[in-house]
Amino acid sequence: HAMDSKVGEVLLYYCYCEVKDPERLCAWQKALCQHLHLTGKVRVASEGINGTVGGSKVATNLYIEVMLSQPLFKDILCQEDFKSSAGGAHCFPDLRVGVFKEIVPMGIDPKIVSYKETGIHLSPQEFHREVEQYLSQASQGQSDTILLDCRNFYESKIGHFQGCLAPDIRKFSYFPSYVDENLELFKDKRVLMYCTGGIRCERGSAYLRSKAVCREVYQLKGGIHKYLEEFPDGFYRGKLFVFDDRYAICSNEDIVSACRYCGTLWDQYKLCSSQHCRQLVLTCPSCRNKGLTACCPVCQEKELKVTSRASGQTLKEECECTRRRPRVPIEHASQRMLDTGKD
């Protein structure tokens, strides 16, 4: 039946607003998604809602319609706020709807750093012009601007804006510490921030602004998603990482990352083959055929031994690459910008 057809889409959206009764909104949301046969993840909090759901076109269209007429979001959320990509219910293993403290996990109390203190939103066109200007100044070595990727290292690795500064962080909750450790970098700078759909910039920009060191903080409205709709062949190169079974969506054919083992161009992630490791690994078909399927030598060894521990949790982050990776890298003023396009 129409609600279950394979050719559907995945929606990504968020809405910051005051939610008096998160539990009730959560129950309503869960019932709505189940009714429409949608899978995915929805986070509800007293500060709003954040969701990524997949299903048939019929279902996702109905979902948008219902969301836009829900009194809580009616005057805030609009059609444009939904980013869509080809996919469907099969992109997620199940449906998870829950109440959390934050709708995007930055690890800082929303009462302390609020989405209301956000940076200046730029449309994709405005952002495109800003990046263009930044790149031409940077090539002459005279830029007062930082193009900041607010995502995790495994996201920026396979796709990013040319000339961006991409923090080497494993999750967004390390972003505030990254800012703290690198305040010098942001001093008196204009910061252009971006993320996948715009939500991490809402609180990320508020956090950066709370430090009162930047000249101005701007953010890409609608994130890379909306930018790629307007500029599929613009300044964003490579794939767009997504948090579902697809791992990435593609707007141009560029490959900007390499196989972990042989260095050949490769940008398709697989989960590390070691049983309890949740790291993603870039390993090309020919290396995979040689059995190089883990994220690091320790995991590769561990897989051979096939450790049988009662609980998988203890091994969750326990591997060489995790221990070796500093949680919050310190960038030096001679910034390691990702390919400014000065080849």
- Please give, one letter per residue, the 3-state secondary structure of the chain: CHHHCCCEEEEEEEEECCCCCHHHHHHHHHHHHHHCCCEEEEEEECCEEEEEEEEEHHHHHHHHHHHHHCCCCCCCCCHHHCEEEEECHHHCCCEEEEECCCCCCCCCCCCCCCHHHCCEEECHHHHHHHHHHHHHHHCCCCCCEEEEECCCHHHHHHEEECCCECCCCCCHHHHHHHHHHCHHHHCCCEEEEECCCCHHHHHHHHHHHHCCCCCEEEEECCHHHHHHHHCCCCCEEEEEECCCCCCEEECCCCCCCECCCCCCECCCEEECCCCCCCCEEECCHHHHHCCCCCCCHHHHHHHHHCCCCCCHHHHCCCCHHHHHCCCCCCCCCCCCCCCCCCC
Class of the CATH domain delimited by 120-249: alpha beta
Please give the positions annotated as active site.
195
Q: What is the percent of the chain where pLDDT is above 90?
A: 76
What pLDDT, on a 0 to 100 scale, did the predictor assign at position 302? 73
The CATH architecture annotation of domain 8-99 reads 2-Layer Sandwich (3.30)
Predicted confidence band at 212 (pLDDT cuts at 50, 70, 90)? Answer: very high
pTM of whole model > 0.85?
yes
Domain ranges of the chain: 8-99, 120-249, 269-308+316-323
| pLDDT tops 50 at residue 342 | no
What pLDDT, on a 0 to 100 scale, did the predictor assign at position 27? 98
Pick from 11-25, 262-276, 290-304, 311-325: least confident: 311-325
Would the CATH topology of 8-99 be identical to that of 120-249? no
| pLDDT tops 70 at residue 180 | yes
Mean pLDDT of 319-330: 72
